Amino acid sequence: MKHRQTVEQLLAAIGGQENLKLAEHCATRLRLILHDNNKLNKDEAEQIQGIKGYFYSTGQHQFVFGTGTVNEVYQDLLSVIDQNKLAEGDIKSEVYQNMTPVQKVVRTFADILVPLIPALVTTGLLMGLRGFLVELGLEMTPEFATMFGVLTDTAFAFLPVLIAYSASKKFGGNPIMGIVIGLMMVAPQLPNAYSVGSGDAEALNIFGINIVAYQGSIFPAIIAGWLIAKIEQWCRTWVPKMMDLVVTPFLSLLITFVTIIFLLGPVIQAVEHFVINGIVTLIEAPLGLGYIVFGGLQQAIVVTGLHHSIGVIELSLLSETGRNVIQPLTTASMAGQFGAAIGAAFLVKDAVRRMNMINASVPTLFGITEPLLFGVNLRSLRIFVSGIIGGAAGGLVTYLMHLTAPGMGITFIPGLLFYTESFGLLLNYLIVIGVSFAVAFVLVQAQRKYIVDEI
């Protein structure tokens, strides 16, 4: 067993196997729920071999091991414990009970939207590839441009379908019914929302209500997925089983469609536009203040676990404008914390410890910051604040350069692919990263005599 010593130290730190209630892992962290949290020894937990950080949140004891390693540690843990003694159920359900109302809402959004990210990332990369090919001088024939448009535009054109499917599945409904209601929301018989917005088409007017399709809408699709799932569940409480196959889907679709199109939809859509426009207005505050604040604090939002909700804003920005300012600002915030961590690593004289800090920081280059945050920067407020200032500096540069991305879901080095349509854009993106990193690195180095004692 490759990680025997790590597992032994882990079990000792949590108070033995008998104190372990549930266990699972994500991309970087081993997540444990204990019967008695008081039995955990925090000092021992932070000294486990190979660990890059430990913290407690929403009822979970989270041990940061990093990508790849965490999978191995998890498997070795399962091999030495009696799995029959673990509680039934899953960590998500257990954690959900320990969340605040705000955290529950954010987690629900994350569960709905995160499964969509691979498709949206791919679409964004294809947009970047198209821009890169055009920049190289490739002339597309109308037929070729049309086929490329299928690759780049389909996911966003049918975004409500994807969201309604994911939402209905999340809320315990039939995902196929979610797909159907999503397709109805963007049916070609309804005036295209973009065409109506640009003045190229007119909304349908029924009962004095202007009706348009929901291309690019997010919250109406989430409500539709939730509503059709709940109506389906309600129908099954009274519809005879012999009629369930016909009556339940008929009522579910009909009630949801009428509610979304004539009642909730217009209201939700108006509120959605108001909120999104408000956040965008805040980001675009005079003199780049919004960019500065967001670039500085985005990684602080990651610490709270609320960062998943930002995906809603990114989706809306891409749907409405085709550009995403959140992506470069997020990268700036990451680069600031990365610069602070590397600056701190070079203050450490012990070679092994310095290398551990660098190893915890490297995943940040690929958009995974938890090992860096919990393993290095949050150990010293000075380091973390230096990273915030570095990110804020990168946010200002982003504002000055009017930098935006054509997609979402990837940041830092993978995010380079969003800027291949021109050398100028690629250079601007690298400058944002460089400024954020340099400012944070220099600030940490300037506080050498204070930070050395803290870390």
The answer to whether 331 and 412 are in contact (CB under 8 A) is yes
Say which DSSP state 56 is in: E
d(C-alpha 322, C-alpha 302), whole Å: 25
d(C-alpha 317, C-alpha 314), whole Å: 5
**Which helix (H) or strand (E) is 346 found in, with range?**
none
Which of 5, 16, 17, 26 is catalytic? The answer is 26
d(C-alpha 387, C-alpha 403), whole Å: 21
Contacts of 318 (CB under 8 A, 6+ apart): 120, 124, 156, 324, 406, 407, 408
Tell me the CA end-to-end span of the chain in Å, nearest whole number: 32
Is there a catalytic annotation at residue 26? yes
Partners of residue 54 on adjacent β-strands: 63
Number of Cβ within 10 Å of residue 75's Cβ equals 14
Q: Residue 438 has which token pair?
A: 């340099």
**Which helix (H) or strand (E) is 60 found in, with range?**
strand 60-64
d(C-alpha 32, C-alpha 42), whole Å: 14
Instruction: Let me know how many helices (H) and strands (E) the chain has, helices first.
Output: 21, 6
Maximum Cα interatomic distance, the chain, rounded to a whole number of Å: 77
Task: Give which of 128, 118, 183 is closest to 152, Cα–Cα.
Answer: 128
d(C-alpha 212, C-alpha 261), whole Å: 8
The answer to whether 217 and 185 are in contact (CB under 8 A) is yes
Residue located via tokens 């640009």: 198
Taking the CA atoms of residue 361, residue 107, residue 68 and residue 43 in that order, the dihedral angle to the nearest 10 degrees is 60
Q: Which residues are catalytic?
A: 26
